[in-house]
């Protein structure tokens, strides 16, 4: 029987969509029955376990699941909390669910910098990360641990400042708060248990990782096609971001023009397109790449 890798993913929340999308792009077809806590994927011998994000590190550390997709913030908090850190390995940063753990305080108050936190009360869901940050900055402050709705703590008189996850900053603004320092940046990570796996299981992980790497690489990568005057080809190919070997082809019936096709491994900004156009490039097409390998 082929091995089954079990992956813990968040059931519902800010990691869930990105996790499912990544696995689907890696070729897994996932259609869980409504309310089901597990689902056997089609495409590779993989089973998913749908859980709360906070449970993912320990499920993987205990070997209940082989792999998990969790936020860097949750992993750091767990690791600081106590032993067991060595039970997990980060396999890949996944580039989604990006957010920043920030310090913030009431907009019209006196706290404007880290130094102003001396002797204050700070509400957070990440007490371990906050305490280690404060220690690093020689600040003595009280951490008030709240599981959620941290932003309203100052208005309720529970704290003077907060330490919370921020992506756009809209929630902070809506609660009359302004951020003044970054504690850590976070993104989703693929983690595995730090135990010895049998060869078949390792081979299955390697296969999944090749696909995941292809999905991640293709996110920023674009295929660009354009036509350009022969004499401008060197200038134009030099402008293509992250393109290693463009294909240059003649155009039927146009001796003065060539077609340029290239895979660009970096973001192509509008500025670049304008510069290409200024050098005589025309019929410029930028196409997304769905999958990459090799």
The contact pattern for ligand ATP, residues 40-69, with x = CB under 6 A and - = no contact, is ------------xxx---------------
71 binds, among ligand ATP, Zn ion, none (CB under 5 to 8 A by kind): ligand ATP
186 binds, among ligand ATP, Zn ion, none (CB under 5 to 8 A by kind): ligand ATP
Q: Show the CA angle centred on residue 175, arms to residues 155 and 78, nearest 5°.
A: 85
Using the 8-state DSSP alphabet, how is residue 33 labeled?
P
Q: Reduce the DSSP state of residue 210 to 3 states and report it.
A: helix
- Supply the minimum distance, in Å, between the C-beta of residue 58 and ligand ATP: 13
Give the list of residues 6+ apart from residue 250 with CB closer than 8 angstroms, or none: 258, 259
Q: Which of residues 1-60 bind Zn ion (CB under 5 A)?
A: 53-54
Sign of CA dihedral 245, 246, 250, 252: positive
> Please, which residue, 71 or 127, has the CB nearer to ligand ATP?
71
**Shortest CA distance to 223 belongs to which of 240, 239, 210, 211?**
240
Q: Show the CA angle centred on residue 83, arms to residues 80 and 89, nearest 5°.
A: 80
**Shortest CA distance to 41 belongs to which of 51, 32, 29, 33?**
29
> Please, which residue, 71 or 214, has the CB nearer to ligand ATP?
71
Contact 93, 187 (CB under 8 A): yes
The contact pattern for Zn ion, residues 63-102, with x = CB under 5 A and - = no contact, is ----------------------------------------
- Supply the minimum distance, in Å, between the C-beta of residue 62 and ligand ATP: 18
The contact pattern for ligand ATP, residues 184-223, with x = CB under 6 A and - = no contact, is --x-------------------------------------
Q: Does residue number 15 form part of the binding site for ligand ATP (CB under 6 A)?
A: yes
Stretch that binds ligand ATP, among 8-16, 29-37, 126-134, 221-229 (CB under 6 A): 8-16
Q: Reduce the DSSP state of residue 191 to 3 states and report it.
A: strand
Residue with tokens 């390792």, as numbered in its chain: 202
> Please, which residue, 95 or 176, has the CB nearer to ligand ATP?
95
Stretch that binds ligand ATP, among 12-20, 59-67, 214-222, 232-240 (CB under 6 A): 12-20
Contact 248, 231 (CB under 8 A): no
> Please, which residue, 47 or 54, has the CB nearer to Zn ion?
54
Query: How many residues of this chain interact with ligand ATP, rule: CB under 6 A?
Result: 15
Residue with tokens 């609660």, as numbered in its chain: 175
The contact pattern for ligand ATP, residues 97-116, with x = CB under 6 A and - = no contact, is x-x-----------------
Q: Reduce the DSSP state of residue 28 to 3 states and report it.
A: coil
Stretch that binds ligand ATP, among 7-15, 25-33, 175-183, 260-268 (CB under 6 A): 7-15
Q: What is the rounded distance in angstroms from the CA atom of residue 16 to the CA atom of residue 50?
A: 9
**Shortest CA distance to 134 belongs to which of 110, 167, 163, 100?**
163
Query: For residue 282, how far is the Cα from the chain centroid?
Result: 35
Where on the chain is the footprint of Zn ion (CB under 5 A)? 53-54
Where on the chain is the footprint of ligand ATP (CB under 6 A)? 10, 13-15, 52-54, 71, 73-74, 97, 99, 165, 167, 186
């Amino acid at each position: 029987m082929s091995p089954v890798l079990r992956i813990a993913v968040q059931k519902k929340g800010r990691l869930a969509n990105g996790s499912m999308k990544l696995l689907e792009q890696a070729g897994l077809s996932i259609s869980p029955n409504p309310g089901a806590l597990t689902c056997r994927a089609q495409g590779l011998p993989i089973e998913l376990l749908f859980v709360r994000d906070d449970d993912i590190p320990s499920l993987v550390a205990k070997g209940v699941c082989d792999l998990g997709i969790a936020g860097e913030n949750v992993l750091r908090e767990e690791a600081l909390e106590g032993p067991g850190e060595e039970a997990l390995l980060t396999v890949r940063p996944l580039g989604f669910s990006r957010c920043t753990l920030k310090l913030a305080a009431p907009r019209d108050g006196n706290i404007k910098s880290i130094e102003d936190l001396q002797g204050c009360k700070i509400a957070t869901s990440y007490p371990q990360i906050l305490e280690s940050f404060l220690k690093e900055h020689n600040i003595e402050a009280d951490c008030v641990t709240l599981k959620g709705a941290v932003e309203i703590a100052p208005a309720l008189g529970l704290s003077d400042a907060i330490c919370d996850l921020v992506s756009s900053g809209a929630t902070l603004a809506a609660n009359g708060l302004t951020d003044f320092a970054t504690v850590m940046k976070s993104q989703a990570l693929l983690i595995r248990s730090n135990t010895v796996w049998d060869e078949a299981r390792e081979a299955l992980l390697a296969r999944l990782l090749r696909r995941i790497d292809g999905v991640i690489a293709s996110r920023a990568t674009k295929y660009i096609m354009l036509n350009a005057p022969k004499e401008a080809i060197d200038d134009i190919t030099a402008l293509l971001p992250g393109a290693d070997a463009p294909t240059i082809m003649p155009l039927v019936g146009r001796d003065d023009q060539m077609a340029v096709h290239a895979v660009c491994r970096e973001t192509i900004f509008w500025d670049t397109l304008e510069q290409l156009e200024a050098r005589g490039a025309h019929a410029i097409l930028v196409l997304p790449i769905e999958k990459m390998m090799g």
